[in-house]
Homo-oligomer: A and B are copies of this chain.
Amino acid sequence: MTKDINQPKYLKLKEYLKGEMLMGRIKPGEQIPSEHSLAEMFTISRHTVRKAVSILINEGYLTSEHGRGTYCLDRSHKRSTSRNIGVITTYMSDYIFPKVIQGIDSVLSQNGYSIILKNTNNDTINESNCLKDMLEKNVEGLIIEPTKSALFSRNLELFKALDSCGIPFVFIHGYHQNLEDKPYVILDDAAGMYSAVRYLAGLGHKKITGIFKADDIQGLNRHEGYVRALADSRISYDPDNVILFHTEDKEVKPVNFIRDMIMSGSRMDAVVCYNDEIAFKVFQLVEGMGLKVPEDISITGFDDSYLSENGAVRLTSVSHPKERLGMAAAELLLDILSGRNDAADRWQQVIVPELIIKDSCKKRQ
């Protein structure tokens, strides 16, 4: 090991900095002196400092942040360079998915990443296969809409495998209850449903039927908001007035239930629905039975989708910032990837939706 005294200056500086880091005198996360001060310290030009630093950035020792400074990186695991991010959704419908994926793509593609897309069709076994595929494909990170998130995840081992491979992941829309300490970006579903029910109560409605999805956490949270809003409105909770459905019977159970309730003569004042898809089905059913919305029955949806906008009656719905949600998840993942886990207070992001009042609710006569 000959220490060539005639090394170029930029190599000398590079070796010095690398040595400081390898010996632990500069620790991961720590800021190194600014380019200007390094230039002064070594009596070389800033240009030469930048050359030394750029090599160390390329070798994965440093990272620099515009306007802030240059920082020592954690080199415990070497980075892969596939520049691919896996995205696992539950569905690829025209309902929420397109805008969310647009948001994700706009951020990722701008940062040179590509999306590998998979969907589970809300089936736990498919989720397991998707995760295995992603592990094989050496993606650099994952954005996951959890499947059947109301239940404890059966794929816990696979998520742990992601951890041990150093592949970070961000949940979107919800999270598994046994993975609640992981990063996620979700809506405040309870608050959204709360505002819808409070609004209907304020219009004088007493018998407010609720339709909720029972196999994902969004459904449970929306139900919780429903319960809280009833209590705060001094309306007693009636289990017979609540319909819980699963993915498998979403096409039939809600409408059958509402039809039976109306035909048996016990008509409700209003229906709050898990989402616009259900609300739209209920709307079509009610109008098909000769009743008028909102004159006879008020209806609210959730997600503020095209279904709430394009129909014969515009549905009052709870907003869903779909694109923003996707962008937030992508940005969070990129932050984690770049080692900026100082953003621990941004790991769990909850976006509060708003009630968008349109034409499907009316004061009770």
- Additional A-B contacts beyond A1-B106, A280-B310 (15; CB < 8 A): A1-B109, A54-B54, A83-B137, A84-B137, A92-B98, A94-B94, A94-B99, A94-B306, A101-B117, A105-B119, A109-B118, A114-B118, A115-B117, A306-B307, A312-B312
Residue pair B110, A2 in contact (C-beta under 8 Å): yes
Bound: A95/B116 CA distance, A: 21
Measured between beta carbons, the chain B residues less than 8 angstroms from A101 are: 92, 117
Bound: A117/B93 CA distance, A: 16
- Chain A 129-163: CB-based contact to B (< 8 A → 1; otherwise 0): 00001000100000000000000000000000000
Bound: A263/B268 CA distance, A: 46
Bound: A331/B92 CA distance, A: 19
Q: How many residues of A contact B (CB 8 A)?
A: 34
Residue of B1, B2, B54, B114 near A133 (CB, 8 A) is B114
Bound: A106/B92 CA distance, A: 11
Quick one: which of A343-359 are within 8 Å of B by CB? none
Chain B, Cβ-Cβ closest to A311: B310
Kindly state whether residue A319 has any CB partner on chain B within 8 Å. no
Kindly state whether residue A237 has any CB partner on chain B within 8 Å. no
- Chain A 82-105: CB-based contact to B (< 8 A → 1; otherwise 0): 111000000011110111011001
Kindly state whether residue A58 has any CB partner on chain B within 8 Å. yes
Chain B, Cβ-Cβ closest to A119: B105
Quick one: which of A188-244 are within 8 Å of B by CB? none
